[in-house]
Chains A and B, each alone.
Chain A
Amino acid sequence: MLSMQGIRKSFFVVEVLHEVDFTVDKGEIMGLCGENGAGKSTLMKILAGIHAQDSGDIVFKDTVIRRNATPLEMQRVGISMIHQELNFLDELTVAQNIFLCREPRYPTGLINFGRMRDDAAAILEKLGEKIDPKRKMRDLKIAQKQMVEIAKAISFNVELLVMDEPTSMLTGKETKILFDLIANLSAQGIAVVYISHRLKEIIDVCHKVTVLKDGSLVAVKNVADVTAHDLAALMVGRDVQETKASDFAGDPDAVALEVRDVSDDLLKGVGFKVRRGEILGFSGLVGAGRTELMEVIFGIRKPRTGRVLIDGRPITIRSAMDAIRADLGFVTEDRKETGLVLCRDISENSNYVFWQKTKGFFKRKKTSAANAERMIDRLAIRCSSPAQNVSNLSGGNQQKVALAKWLLSGAKVLVLDEPTRGVDVGARQEIYLIIRELAAEGVAIVIVSSDLPEILTICERVIIMHEGRVTGTLAASELSEAKVMYYATDV
Chain B
Amino acid sequence: MEAIERRSENRLLEFIKGIWRDYSVVVVFVAIIGICGAFAPRFLRPENLLNILRNTSIVGSIALGMTFVIIAGGIDLSSGPVLATSGAVLIFLQRMVNADGTPVVPLPIAILACCAVAISFGFLNGIVITKAKLPPFIVTLAVGILARSITMYVCRGATIMGNNIPPFTRIGSGSLLGIPIPFLVVIVMAIIFHIVLTRTKYGTYVFAVGGNENAARYSGIKVDRIRIVTYMMVGLCAGVAATMEMSRMAAVAAATSGAQYEFEAITAVIVGGTSLAGGRGRLIGTIVGFIILGIVNNMMIMLNISPYLSGAVKGAVILFAVLMQRRER
Contacts and interface: CB of A to CB of B under 8 A. Distances in A.
Contacts of B290: none
A356 B215 contact: no
A339 B222 contact: no
Point out which of B200, B208, B217, B218 has the most chain A C-beta atoms below 10 A from its C-beta: B218
Contact of A363 (B201, B218, B220): B201
A13 B10 contact: yes
Contacts of B221: 352, 356
A348 B215 contact: no
Contact of A355 (B14, B201, B207): B201
Nearest to A356: B220
A348 B208 contact: yes
Contacts, number: 80
Nearest to B214: A338
A300 interface: yes
Interface in B203-235: 204-205, 207-208, 211-212, 214-222
Contact of B211 (A298, A321, A343, A351): A343
Interface of B is mostly: helix
B217 A341 contact: no
Bin chain A's interface residue count.
20 to 34
B326 interface: no
Interface string A59-85: 000000000000000000000000000
B211 A337 contact: no
A409 to B, nearest CB: 9
Interface string A308-343: 000000000001110110000010100001111111
B180 interface: no
B194 interface: no
A365 interface: yes
Interface string B1-42: 000001100100010000000000000000000000000000
A341 B218 contact: no
Given A352-B208, A352-B221, A341 B215 contact: yes
B219 A12 contact: no
A348 B220 contact: no
B320 interface: no
Nearest to B207: A344
Interface of A: 12-13, 298, 300, 319-321, 323-324, 330, 332, 337-344, 348, 351-353, 355-356, 360-363, 365, 405
Given A12-B10, A353-B219, A356-B219, 10 more contacts: A320-B220, A338-B215, A338-B218, A341-B216, A343-B279, A352-B216, A352-B220, A356-B201, A363-B199, A365-B199
Q: Which 9 A-B pairs have the closest CB atoms?
A: A341-B211, A352-B219, A321-B220, A324-B220, A320-B220, A343-B279, A341-B212, A338-B214, A343-B211
